[in-house]
Structure 1
Amino acid sequence: MFAGVAFLAIIFQLAIVAAVIVFAVKLLNRITDIAGSQKSIAESQVQLITLLRKKQTTQESADS
């Protein structure tokens, strides 16, 4: 009787540990995806600023 209960308790604890590990891995993957997206956004903003700077330089040259 007690052996069955102890076995179920061990299985339950192992299931909780496995669930925590799976959750941590999924969270880490999601954070990695978000970091990649943020990097891509930053690179796009750098390109936009570069283009705007070139446009402004061109307009200043044309105005002179």
Structure 2
Amino acid sequence: HTTRHYSAMIMMFGMMDNYNTEYTERLHIDFAKDTYCTTNHKDEFVQMMQWLKHKEKIMHHDKYV
């Protein structure tokens, strides 16, 4: 919902101080590019979701061990 308002707010008030895309770009690399490399490039979306679920389970396990 709020993304609809971003362009209007930026035009009205200008860009926010200290704003950069570094954080979201890092997430894109971790969750899309690196994950895509683990697939065999056939039906990659399903493989990527399975890989991310597996990685998340490992992270939760490591957190409580």
| Larger RCO: 1 or 2 (CA < 8 Å, sep 6+) | 2
Structure of greater Rg: 1
Quick check: TM above 0.5? no
Aligning the two structures, in what range does the TM-score lie when normalised by the shorter sequence? 0.3 to 0.5
The structure where helix makes up a greater share of residues is 1
